[in-house]
């Protein structure tokens, strides 16, 4: 859509591209016809002027038709000579103006060409610098990516080595337990160790009756459970006891209500 020139009620409204081209063609035709009309008006004015001269000579001079035609021809020839000189002068002025316009246009064209060459050179430099920066960025990115991949590979290898070592350790532990279980000597030693520990706890209870039954002195799992784990289990038991107490109180209130 192009903006229309605005005629009548269509002022200010957009005009379709096809209609706009038709309007432009019609306007160009109107301008050509206007130029032809101006030229015809100038010719008509010249003819009217010459007819007026003929009438003036016919009215003021007592001449025959042949003498009047000869006088008119001489007058028109002189006038045409003056018009030719005037036209030559106008043409010289137009030529000088055209040459001046040509020089100015050539200067303007050279200046525009220099500007375009400078812009082109700057664009090429900018493109070259941009390409170099992009290549440098891609190179650094690839180097960082390769380093990260190598580090991830090392970490995976370490994890795999740790898993393999843990698997070997578990295997050795299973073999040791299987060896102890399968061999009667070691199995008897383990059973005897447990019996001796139980006997030790029994004599401790006999020697220290003032201690409660759940004291750590009488525990048979000191070498298996961490003290911090015991504290955590005690805290969980206390929390469970508190919740059970709250639930019991809540149930009693509901029953009384």
How far does the chain reach from its first CA to its final CA, in angstroms?
84
**What is d(CA 230, CA 109) in angstroms, rounded to the nearest whole number?**
95
pLDDT score at 13 = 45
pLDDT score at 4 = 42
pLDDT score at 185 = 80
pLDDT score at 129 = 93
Do 217 and 208 touch, CB atoms closer than 8 A?
A: yes
Do 67 and 73 touch, CB atoms closer than 8 A?
A: no
pLDDT score at 8 = 42
pLDDT tens for 80-107 read 555 556 666 777 777 888 888 888 888 8
Please give the full DSSP string across the chain, using - where no structure is assigned.
-EE----GGGTTSEE-HHHHHHHHHHHHHHHHHHHHHHHHHHHHHHHHHHHHHHHHHHHHS---HHHHHHHHHHHHHHHHHHHHHHHHHHHHHHHHHHHHHHHHHHHHHHHHHHHHHHHHHHHHHHHHHHHHHHHHHHHHHHHHHHHHHHHHHHHHHHHHHHHHHHHHHHHHHHHHHHHHHH-HHHHHHHHHHHHHHHHHHHHHHHH-TTS-TT-GGG-S-TTTS-HHHHHHHHHHHHHHHHHHHHHHHHHHHHHH-
Segments in the chain below pLDDT 50: 1-13, 222-223
């Amino acid at each position: 859509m192009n903006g229309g020139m605005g005629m009548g009620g269509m002022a200010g409204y957009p005009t379709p591209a096809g209609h706009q081209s038709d309007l432009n063609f019609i306007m160009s035709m109107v301008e050509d016809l206007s130029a032809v009309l101006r030229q015809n008006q100038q010719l008509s004015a010249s003819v009217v002027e010459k007819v007026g001269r003929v009438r003036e000579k016919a009215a003021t001079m007592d001449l025959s038709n042949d003498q009047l035609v000869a006088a008119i021809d001489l007058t028109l020839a002189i006038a045409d000579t003056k018009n030719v000189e005037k036209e030559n002068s106008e043409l010289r002025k137009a030529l000088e103006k055209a040459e001046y316009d040509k020089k100015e246009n050539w200067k303007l064209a050279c200046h525009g060409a220099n500007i375009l060459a400078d812009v082109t050179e700057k664009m090429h430099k900018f493109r070259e610098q941009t390409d170099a920066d992009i290549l440098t960025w891609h190179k650094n990115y690839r180097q960082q990516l390769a380093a990260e991949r190598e580090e991830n590979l090392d970490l995976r290898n370490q994890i795999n080595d740790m898993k393999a070592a843990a698997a070997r350790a578990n295997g050795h532990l299973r073999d040791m337990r299987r060896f102890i279980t399968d061999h009667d000597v070691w199995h008897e030693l383990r059973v005897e160790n447990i019996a001796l520990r139980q006997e030790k706890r029994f004599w401790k209870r006999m020697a220290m009756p003032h201690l409660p039954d759940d004291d750590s002195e009488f525990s048979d799992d000191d070498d298996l459970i961490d003290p911090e784990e015991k504290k955590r289990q005690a805290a969980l038991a206390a929390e469970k006891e508190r919740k059970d107490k709250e639930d019991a109180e809540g149930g009693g209130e509901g029953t009384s209500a």
